[in-house]
Structures are given as structure tokens and as C-alpha cells.
Structure 1
Amino acid sequence: MPRPRAADFEDKRRQIRAAAALLFAQKGYDRTAIGDIARACAMSKPLVYHYVASKEDLLVAIIADHIEDLTQRVRRAARRATPDGRLRAVAQALLDGYRQTDALHKIHINELSRLPAEAQASLMAVERELVAIFSDALLAAVPELHGSPRLTPVTMSLFGMLNWHCMWFRADGPMSREAYADLATGLIVAGARDLAGGAGVLAAE
């Protein structure tokens, strides 16, 4: 008969994930060992393995939890916003999510490629809903993108602008996250509308 889980099993697993995330962000995934995570949690290595199968599984869980948290934030923002303001609202919600999870975001960007292709594919599947919310918001802002093969490239261009802001953004810098969300969405919308005005380029390609 399987041994029942302790009442604090999930709490311990969350503790391990939090410690691993901090170490992955500080030292990098490759330079962090399970022993480092065990010491950070004041646990033995065998006890850590009682809660997690491997370091790779830890990385997958950390990134998946991060994407799901961002998706929930963006989904709520999309539901509350008017169609005209939805793109700006979801962009601000995403950047606000990064404000509180910068370390997790850097792990997502820097360490995802270290995972096997199957694990990467599973995380990309989790991310698709987040991308779909942005795509729908972009369509509300620029209806001319309906049926255009450029919808995905334009959506991913905006996503890239927002995702990589962590490489240069500083909290004490000249621009707030909210202002950058306005700038990024404004550039994307203006560019898409400008293309749409060029003899129906968006829909015709």
C-alpha cells in the first residue's frame, strides 16, 4: 500500500521550488546542484528527491507555474478592459507580473533552451493561451488584421518587445513599466494600422 503524503507535502515542494528558482536566477541552472538546493532548504538531498524527481523537473515546474501565473493576470485584465483598451491593459498586466517575478522571467528566458525538446514543447503549449489573449486584443485594436498572415508575426513582435524589456529596464530609470507598455502597444498598433492603409497589404498577403 502506498505511503500517504504528509500534510505539508505541497508546502515543502513549494519551498524547494522557491529556493531552486532563486539559485537558478543567481547562479544559473547548470551551476546549481541539487545539493545547493538542499542546503538552501535545510534539507538532505534524499529528502529533496522525496519531493521532486530531478533538477530538470524542478525547472519545468518553475517555468510552468510562472507562465500560468502570468496567464491568469493577463486573462483577468482582458476581461475587465473595453475592446479599445484591451491591448494596453494586457500589456500592462504582463509587465506588472514581471515586476513581481523578474527572477522567474529571467529563468524562463535564459534556461528554457537547456531543456529537452519534449519539455520545451510542453511549456510552449502552456504559453499558447497567453499568446492567444494578446492576439485577440490586437485584433480588437486593429480589426484589419483579421485573416492576415501577419497577425502572428505582429503579435509575437509585441510579445518580444515586452518579454525582453528585462534586459534594459531599470526601476529607477527614465521610463516606468506602465509607460513602456503604452509605448510598445502604441508602436505596434500604429505600425499595423499604417500597413493596413497601404492598399490592403495586411489582408492581401
Structure 2
Amino acid sequence: MARTIAKDHDQKRTHILKTAARVFANAGFARASMSQIATACGISKANIYHYYDSKDALLFDILDTYLSELRDRLCGLDMSAAAPEDRVVYFVREALLAYEGMDAEHKIQSEGLPLLSSEQQEVLKAYQREMVRRLSDTLREIAPAAFEGDGSRLRSATMSVFGMINWFYMWNPGADRAAREDYARLVASMSVNGVRGLDTQSDSL
């Protein structure tokens, strides 16, 4: 007979994921133990193993949950009626708002992702590529001549925008919604004017 899933299963799983992310971020994945995570969660070690059979499984679920939800949020934006320039604002603003309260998950990406299996890494990188592609398509639409036949240049421009987003996250963790929206407009203005400048350069060559 199959084991009945408790009514609060999803709630407990979410609690474990958030708590484990903080433990991994503070102690480092290699030094953190399942016992530490159980103590931080306020549950028994046996109960942790009821949900996850290893630290690796727990790490993957943290990153899979975080990145898939971020992907859904950014790629699911309905911007069909917006001009390409406005889409940059919406995308950057939504990314900054999505980062709020996710410091631990964001921090353990760089350390944790290489520790996972190649199959698990590919799942997570696919989410990242979808978000990059969404922004890349918008930048290409703003300045098509600047990126025609030059995928490397387009990727550099796209990742520069993500770099500015991550800079704000690193140095302004306590920023409120208004500050995030103001910065989104700044990044969008710099990005749009920058790629348009590349378009002009391309026309003059």
C-alpha cells in the first residue's frame, strides 16, 4: 500500500528548502550536514531523510525550485503589447523583485551547481538559457543591425545587463520596491541607448 502524503507535505518541504539554503549559504555546502539542517528546521534528522536521501538531492531541489520559478516569472511576463524598450524595463524590474528574499538561493548557485551531476546541471542551465534568450531576443529587436550574424556580441550585451542586475543584488540587498524599480529604469536606459549606439556604429561601417 502506497504511503499517504501528509496534508502539510508541501509546506514542510518549502520550509526545509528555505532553511537548507540558508545553512548551505552560511556554512558552505561541503561543511554543512544533514544534522545541521534538521536542527535549523526544528525537526529530526530522520524526518529530513523522509524528504531527501542526500545533501545532493536537497541541493538540486533548492536550485531547481529557485531557478524554475525564476524562469517562469521572467519568461512568463506578458509583454506582447509593449515596445521592445519597455520590455527591457519590465524584465529587469521583475528580475530585481524576484531576487528579493532569495539571497541564500542566489548565493549557492555558483558553489552548488558544479557539484551536481552533469544531468542535473543541464536541467538548471536550461532554465538559465531560457531567461538569457528572452532578454537577448528583446535586445536584438531593439538594434538588429548591431547583432546581425554576431551571436557573441549579442551574448556579451545580454550578459552585461544581467551583470548590472547582479551588481544591484550584491550591493543593495535591503532595497525596497521603489529603489528596485528606479534601478530597473536606469539599467534599461543604459542598455537600450547602448545597443542603439552599436546599431549606429554598424550602419557607419
Shorter chain as denominator, the TM-score bin is 0.7 to 0.9
| Partner SS for 1:32 | coil
Match of residue 55 from structure 2: 55
* Aligned residue identity for 1:195: L
Match of residue 39 from structure 1: 39
Match of residue 144 from structure 2: 143
- Find the aligned partners of 2:95 and 2:80 in 1 and give their Cα distance: 14
| Partner SS for 2:181 | helix
* Aligned residue identity for 2:124: L
Equivalent residues in 2 for 1:4-23, closer than 5 Å: 4-23=4-23
TM-score normalized by the length of structure 1: 0.83
Equivalent residues in 2 for 1:40-189, closer than 5 Å: 40-79=40-79, 82-83=82-83, 84-144=85-145, 145-149=147-151, 150-171=153-174, 176-189=179-192
Looking at both structures, which has the greater relative contact order when contacts are Cα pairs under 8 Å and sequence separation is at least 6?
2
- Find the aligned partners of 2:168 and 2:107 in 1 and give their Cα distance: 11
Measured at CA, do residues 137 and 54 of structure 1 come closer, stay the same or move farther in structure 2, by a change above 3 Å?
same
Q: What whole-Å deviation, never above 9, does each CA across 1:138-181 have from its counterpart, x for those lacking one?
A: 233333335432222211221222134333225369x9322322
The 8 Å contact of residues 87 and 134 in structure 1, kept in 2 or not, is answered as yes
Q: What whole-Å deviation, never above 9, does each CA across 1:73-115 have from its counterpart, x for those lacking one?
A: 3234443761230011101110111123223222224432333
- Find the aligned partners of 1:117 and 1:3 in 2 and give their Cα distance: 31
Pick which of 23-32 and 1-10 moved more: 1-10
Instruction: Report the number of matched residues.
Output: 201
Measured at CA, do residues 146 and 199 of structure 1 come closer, stay the same or move farther in structure 2, by a change above 3 Å?
closer
The 8 Å contact of residues 86 and 140 in structure 1, kept in 2 or not, is answered as no
Give the unaligned 5+ runs of structure 2: none
Give the unaligned 5+ runs of structure 1: none
Pick which of 135-144 and 63-72 moved more: 135-144
The 8 Å contact of residues 77 and 86 in structure 1, kept in 2 or not, is answered as no
- Find the aligned partners of 2:41 and 2:175 in 1 and give their Cα distance: 32
- Find the aligned partners of 2:181 and 2:201 in 1 and give their Cα distance: 31
* Aligned residue identity for 2:13: R
Deviation of the 1:18 alpha carbon: 1.7
